[in-house]
Amino acid sequence: MTKTLAYAAPEAGRHLGKWSFERREPGPHDVQIDIKFCGVCHSDIHQVRDEWSKGIFPMVPGHEIVGIVSKVGSAVTKFKPGDFAGVGCLVDSCRTCPSCKSGLEQFCENGNSGTYNSYEQDKITPTYGGYSKMIVVHEDFTLRVLEKNNLAAVAPLLCAGITTYSPLRHWKVGKGHKLGVVGLGGLGHMAVKLGASFGAEVTMISTSPSKEADARKLGAQYFLNSKDAEQIKGAKRHFDFIIDTVSASHDYDMYLGMVKPDGVMICVGGPPEPISVKGFSLIGGRKSLAGSLIGGIAETQEMLDYCFDHQIVSDIELIPINYINEAYERMLKGDVKYRFVIDLATLS
């Protein structure tokens, strides 16, 4: 076992502070990674505050992990010490159910092992995430990172990147499609970059008019202020697809009104409260309201390689780890450009 320094929330809703715990020694198929950077996802806030379900505490959040391989088990073939590597939202799954067998480990029928606030496949050992100096992960759940010059900006691809890449690919969003992206935060800014890269005409739909210039720089051709009723009315039945990244309760009917007949509104945001939708928002136009959860391991690798080939990284604010509680407060106000990333060199 190796003592590992981390930042943890001691219980639900409490501030995060320094904590240490034991990581396992790498087994034959394990990769040990010295964590260099970890992105800060809004899911970290939801889970630290028990907004989704009762969490496992102390909780070390963080599932946008990049670092350098420091040790490998005797049977590891994909990695060697010194390689750059990444870990996303999953560290294991049953590997035998139909979902796992088709590369959809995020939907594992026997319960996957999330990177934190979860259990290893033994169902008793808690998992701890990337707000820590080091992690040990099975090589099958470790991702290859080719980008060497901008490692910190790669980290958010491991969740914000794959969570938007996967639905855009699943629904084959691209040339000839009008795509609306709701919410310009971590997920939203990746949806804009990826949607534009796939050839879609992207419109940013935001509650923050001050973000318009940035949205355009990220690749949006148009900008809609969702607080302006006239602008919303003008976009009636406009979009083939809307990807909704909003983290708090909001009016789904309003956004569905902007979807074309036969169009799809894809929810990736996870507001804690149940959503309410009028039946006529869907049936008046044969519209679909869909959801999507991160992506499988093979698709996460495909996304990382795509981003490397197309020189896509995240726009980040690099922070020391002792800024994390303030970073959470700023994210809750929609004040981040556009992902906080923790520099783990600041943890000692």
Helix axis angle, 160-170 to 297-309, nearest 10°: 100
Q: Single out the segment in contact with Zn ion by CB under 5 A; choices: 104-112, 267-275, 280-288, 312-320.
A: 104-112
Q: Single out the segment in contact with Zn ion by CB under 5 A; choices: 85-93, 127-135, 192-200, 267-275.
A: 85-93
90 or 265: whose CB is closer to Zn ion? 90
Cα dist from 107 to 76, 98, 99, 139, 254, whole Å: 26, 9, 6, 20, 30
Least Å distance, CB 131 to ligand NAP, is 15
334's contact among Zn ion, ligand NAP, none, with CB below 5 to 8 A by partner kind, is: ligand NAP
H or E segment at 168?
A: helix 160-170
Q: Strand 178-182 to strand 239-244: parallel, antiparallel, or no bridges (unpaired)?
A: parallel
In sequence order, the β-bridge partners of residue 289 are: 265
Interacting residue with Zn ion among 32, 93, 106, 117 (CB under 5 A): 93
H or E segment at 101?
A: helix 98-101
In Å, the largest CA–CA distance within the chain is 63
**First and final CA of the chain: distance in angstroms?**
19
Name which of 88, 125, 77 is nearest 295 in CA terms. Answer: 88
16's contact among ligand NAP, Zn ion, none, with CB below 5 to 8 A by partner kind, is: none
32 or 113: whose CB is closer to Zn ion? 113
- Residues forming contacts to ligand NAP in the complex (CB under 6 A) are 41-43, 46, 159, 163, 183-188, 206-208, 211, 245-248, 250, 268-270, 292-294, 331, 334, 336
110 or 346: whose CB is closer to Zn ion? 110
93 or 245: whose CB is closer to Zn ion? 93
Q: Single out the segment in contact with Zn ion by CB under 5 A; choices: 54-62, 110-118, 168-176, 336-344.
A: 110-118
Number of neighbouring beta carbons within 10 Å of residue 10: 12
103's contact among Zn ion, ligand NAP, none, with CB below 5 to 8 A by partner kind, is: none
| Footprint on residues 146-205 left by Zn ion (CB under 5 A) | 159
Sign for the pseudo-dihedral over CA of 179, 157, 337, 267: positive
Residue 348 CA to residue 237 CA, distance in Å, equals 53
SS3 (DSSP) at 306: helix
Is 45 near Zn ion (CB under 5 A)?
Answer: no
| Footprint on residues 203-222 left by Zn ion (CB under 5 A) | none
93's contact among Zn ion, ligand NAP, none, with CB below 5 to 8 A by partner kind, is: Zn ion
SS3 (DSSP) at 2: strand
182 or 200: whose CB is closer to ligand NAP? 182
Interacting residue with Zn ion among 9, 31, 41, 303 (CB under 5 A): 41
Which residue of the chain is nearest ligand NAP when measured via CB? 185
DSSP 94-139: -S-SHHHHTT-GGG-TT--EESSSSB-TTSSSB---SSBSEEEEEG
Is 43 near Zn ion (CB under 5 A)?
Answer: yes
Least Å distance, CB 296 to ligand NAP, is 12
In eight-state DSSP terms, residue 296 is -
In eight-state DSSP terms, residue 14 is P
Least Å distance, CB 1 to ligand NAP, is 31
Judge contact between 234 and 215, C-beta under 8 A: no
Interacting residue with Zn ion among 65, 85, 100, 218 (CB under 5 A): 100
Which residue of the chain is nearest Zn ion when measured via CB? 41
- Residues lying near Zn ion in the complex (CB under 5 A) are found at 41, 43, 93-94, 97, 100, 108, 110, 159
